[in-house]
Amino acid sequence: MTAEPSESTTEEKKVGVYICHCGGNISDHVDVDQLAKNVAGIEGVTVTHTNMFMCSDPGQELIQADIKSGKINRAVVASCAPSLHELTFRSAIKRANMNPYLYEHANIREQVSWVHHGDTATAKATHLVAAAIAKAKNLLPLEPIRVDAVGHVTVIGGGVAGMRAALDLSRRGIRVALVEKTAFLGGNTARLDRLVPTNDTGENVVRTLGDAVIADPGITVYGCAQIVGYEGYVGNFKLTLAQSTLKCSTISHEAGDWVSNTGLYVGEAGKDGQWVVESGAIVFATGFTPYRPREGEYGYLNVPEVVTLPDFIQEMAQLPAGGRPLTIGGRTIRRVAFIHCVGSRQIPGIHEPGGDGKLNEYCSRTCCSAILQAAVQIRTRYPETRVFEYYRDIRTYGRGQEDYYDRASDQNVLFFRYEPESPPLVERIERRPYPLRVRVKDTLTFGEELTAEVDLVVLGVGMQAHPIGDLVDMMKLPTGMDGFLQEVHPKLRPVEIANNGILLAGACQAPMDISEACNAAQAAAAKAATLLIKGHVELDPYVAQVDGSRCTGHGRCVEVCPVEGAVRMAAGKASVNPALCTGCGICVGECPEQAIDVNGWTLKQYEEMVDAILAA
């Protein structure tokens, strides 16, 4: 594993500068033609071009043509954030047979046109592009870091996303360890009855995937197992699994023989103990947990006739197909009220934080369709039962899901719309015939307070990230403000996190329905297969490098490095494991001898950039 730059000191530095209009995003505020003139006279610049969209094929072809003709041997692109199109331009340069790391990016959209206007914007853009040119002239050719990769993936979580990812990986010839902390496969899907919009059963989905997983010789299922140890890097992870059947269900059913509302039983697969599993990549499919209302929220836990939607669905699933009337918990249900957005779209100052002090400000996305599906099912199977829905907004966003709203309306489900500052009030009443009263200021009737007496209130609870704090801390995983695992970019890298080789599948990263979770799982499996199928992985060479002639071995770099094992002392000198190094540069600032630099971001390059900014 090496990432050493190739010296090229005698070569004449010929820099091409390519400035993007970004369809007006940049050129509406930056005078791109004037910018091109401003930087054209800088020493070393041989070509300047402007283009409406530099990332388009014609824009990339401009760069490639100048490389092939010998006009340039360094490139500076001034456009949007490098996180969006750095790989695009690097790939274009590589296709023209130039080292892709002889390229520098100047962000003149987010850092200029989106925050400045007129002459100020053009002047700042000139400074940034001049700095990029200065750096480009000091760039050296770099080679990617090549790391041998184990053809094995560990999938954490045995719900539908985890099973889907495991099957896809195995069918691509990659061995899989599927780790599930309970005795069952299926996750939350196993607790569902009818699914939106196919009307298939959760049991059928779980059995279809679960039977295929159990029968697949390329997949090893570890039930009642947890990850208790972690080390390594992309291509070479070592995970310690602890398996304890004592902590799981002791129901004695043979694997593959039984599905209930807890899932496909696999609890006795394997023996108690610990194992080390070597994997080239890790897929997180840890799913979600339903929001649990606090005591007293809409009467929950204080009033027995207030239940959550998941509990209600399980109760409905146990009822006989032709049974009349609707009976829940031994009580005849003549009227039922559903309340939307319980534990979702919470607003600071209006809603009370949970036990962790946080609010769920996001929309859980699937709740509206699930409530409407339940309402339609009630009206179809038990037409004598009246259904009321109290909602803030109806969001049936998926294909075929709007039909449930239309069907609910056609079947005389009565809708009330409330504002978050005036939620429905659930009261217990002693007089009969109904035990509960629901009051609401209905915005559909211009704020009139309406009252309905009902037998049952069902809370449409949202999704929360499954609690995996131990794994987040152990692996230093990035999470968002919402508590879900955070992808690098929702469009460009939707199933990757900042930790190389760790991928996301399903609702561990955001609220998703089953179809979306399986699609994300397939994307994660495809990405993992792409990483490992060649037997090695290539990493960016932007890592620390030690100059042994300057290193005195004081070890401060090891002390400050945030990644264990990335910098080590050997024979009185510091050394860097490039597969672990993240290129953060903390060690560079700590070394008094300046014996460490980060490839592609050296101290000399920084100095030249500062000088260029001052001179521009």
Strand partners, 105: 77
Q: Is the peptide bond before 433 cis (omega within 30 degrees of 0)?
A: yes
Give the C-alpha separation, 255 to 185, whole Å.
Answer: 10
Q: Which CATH number fits domain 300-461: 3.90.1150.10, 1.10.40.30, 3.50.50.60, 3.40.50.261?
A: 3.50.50.60
* 1.10.10.60, 3.30.2130.10, 3.30.70.20, 3.90.1150.10: CATH of 543-598: 3.30.70.20
Alpha carbon of residue 552 to chain centroid = 42
Given a contact cutoff of 8 angstroms between Cβ atoms, the answer to whether 265 and 184 are in contact is yes
CA 262 to chain centre: 26
Q: Per residue in 451-474, pLDDT tens?
A: 999 999 999 999 999 999 999 999
Domain ranges within the chain, ordered by starting residue = 7-143, 152-287+466-536, 300-461, 543-598
Q: At what angle do helices 160-171 and 514-532 cross, to 10 degrees?
A: 30
Could you give the angle at which helices 202-215 and 160-171 cross, rounded to 10 degrees?
A: 40
- Stretch 501-511: mean pLDDT, rounded? 97
Three-state SS at 543: coil
Domains 300-461 and 543-598 alike in fold: no
Q: Which of 9-13, 475-479, 610-614 has the lowest mean pLDDT?
A: 9-13
**Is 297:353 a contact under the CB 8 Å cutoff?**
no
- pLDDT reading at 8 higher than 80: no
Bridge partners of 465?
Answer: 288
pLDDT value for 324: 80
Q: Report residue 193 as tokens.
A: 């009855």
What six digits make up the tokens of 72? 């340039």
Query: What value does the mean pLDDT of the chain take?
Result: 92
Q: Tell me the CATH number of domain 152-287+466-536, given options 3.40.50.2000, 3.30.420.40, 3.40.640.10, 3.50.50.60.
A: 3.50.50.60
Distance CA 345, CA 341 (A): 7
Instruction: Tell me if residue 331 falls in helix, strand or coil.
Output: strand
Query: Residue with structure tokens 């298939």?
Result: 200
Query: What per-residue confidence (pLDDT) applies to 18?
Result: 98
Please check the confidence at residue 99 and state whether its pLDDT lies above 70. Answer: yes
In 516-610, DSSP assigns E strands to 536-539, 544-546, 567-570, 573-576, 596-598
Summarize pLDDT for 112-133 with one digit per residue, the tens: 999 999 999 999 999 999 999 9
Q: What is the pLDDT of residue 4?
A: 53
Query: For the residues of 162-183, what is the DSSP string, one character each?
Result: HHHHHHHHHHTT-EEEEE-SSS
Written as one string, the DSSP assignment of 196-250 is TTT--BHHHHHHHHHHHHHH-TTEEEETTEEEEEEEEETTEEEEEEEE-GGGS--
Alpha helices in 441-490 (DSSP H): 469-475
CATH 3.40.50 assigned to domain 7-143? The reply is yes
Using pLDDT thresholds of 50, 70 and 90, give the confidence band for residue 250. very low
399: confidence class by pLDDT, cuts 50, 70, 90: confident
Q: How far apart are CA 179 and CA 157, in angstroms?
A: 6
Cβ proximity of 445 and 279 under 8 Å: no
pLDDT of residue 494 exceeding 60: yes
| Cα distance between the two ends of the chain | 40
pLDDT per position as a tens digit, 517-544: 999 999 999 999 999 999 999 989 999 9
What the block records as the tokens of 445 is 């009737």
**What's the helix, strand, coil split of the chain in %, to 5?**
30, 25, 45
